[in-house]
Amino acid sequence: MATPLRDRTTVQALIGEAEATLGAGRAYVYEALREVWDKALQGRVIDMPGKMKLQLAATHTAAAAARAVDLVHAAVGTTGIRDEHRFQRHFRDVHTITQHAYISAGRYESGVSIFSACRSSGRSTGCSKS
């Protein structure tokens, strides 16, 4: 008799890594949201570095969610690709959203270039000191 998935140490490790990956992405996006929300409540303008941090956090969170789903997919094997199981839909959906222009991998590049310009000059077009 085969060992159930829940009892396999490899599966437990993959699920643990998926949970940690998702939690880290969630923590980063919540931190970025909290920072811009606090500024908004104080009536302050959300500066470009704040906007870019939020952009990077959203991009990273989507990537972390996709990574978590990939880890679960590795744990469930071919069961995860069958139409009769809901997981295949989650797998497809999370990878589809990572292609959206707002949170695609290309946003890492644009976010970092703006961060670099703001930090190296102290001020850059669209940047303000916080």
Residue pLDDT, tens place only, 54-82: 999 999 999 999 999 999 999 988 888 88
Domain tally for the chain?
Answer: 1
| Predicted local confidence at residue 101, as pLDDT | 80
pLDDT digits (tens, 9 = 90+) for 99-121: 888 777 777 777 667 666 666 76
Question: pTM value?
Answer: 0.78
Nearest-angstrom CA–CA distance, 118 and 29: 21
Query: What Cα–Cα distance (Å) separates residue 125 from each residue in 16, 48, 59, 109?
Result: 43, 9, 23, 18
Residue 129 located in a structural domain:
no
Average pLDDT, the chain: 86
The amino acid present at 124, given as its one-letter code, is S
| 128 within some domain | no
Asked if residue 127 belongs to a domain, the reply is: no
CATH number at residue 109: 1.20.140.10
Whether 126 is in a domain gets the answer no
